[in-house]
Amino acid sequence: QSALTQPASVSGSPGQSITISCTGTSSDVGNYNLVSWYQQHPGKAPKLMIYEVSKRPSGVSNRFSGSKSGNTASLTISGLQAEDEADYYCCSYAGSGAFVVFGGGTKLTVL
């Protein structure tokens, strides 16, 4: 059950856009449109930001968007705000063997 690969950190200035990548394999990200993204502030529980690659739950800002190409999923945050500073995790369904796999997490710093 190998973790999905995310960059350890990304940064951007307020108002800018950033993209976080999440690279898996043809057994997980590449084989299912079942990728979710979570935001986690320090000491808090994760919060769902994107599900099924590109769908936003009710109440999540439309500044957050998701996409996928091949074995790599991506989370884009536009119009960066200070409150977006957090850790972000991708997650994919990986079939009935491994079932669920997470990325290692990306720390977003808003400069």
Partner 1 sequence: QVQLVESGGGVVQPGRSLSLSCAASGFTFSTCAMHWVRQAPGKGLEWVALIWYDGSNKYYADSVKGRFTISRDNSKNTLYLQMNSLRAEDTAVYYCARDRGRYGNTLPDYWGQGTLVTVSS
Residues of this chain that bind partner 1 (CB under 8 A): 1, 3, 32, 34, 36, 38, 40, 44-48, 51-52, 57, 87, 89, 91-93, 96, 99-105
Three-state DSSP string of 43-69: CCCCEEEEECCCECCCCCCCCEEEEEE
Indicate the residue among 10 and 48 with the shorter CB distance to partner 1.
48
Give CB contacts under 8 A, 24+ apart, made by 60-65.
64/37
The answer to whether the beta carbons of residues 72 and 97 sit under 8 Å apart is no
Q: Please state the closest distance from residue 66 (CB atom) to partner 1, in A.
A: 13
The answer to whether the beta carbons of residues 67 and 74 sit under 8 Å apart is yes
Indicate the residue among 14 and 95 with the shorter CB distance to partner 1.
95
Helices (H), the chain: 95-98
Indicate the residue among 16 and 52 with the shorter CB distance to partner 1.
52
Q: Please state the closest distance from residue 48 (CB atom) to partner 1, in A.
A: 5
Indicate the residue among 84 and 93 with the shorter CB distance to partner 1.
93
Q: Please state the closest distance from residue 71 (CB atom) to partner 1, in A.
A: 17
Q: Please state the closest distance from residue 11 (CB atom) to partner 1, in A.
A: 19
């957050």: which residue's tokens?
64
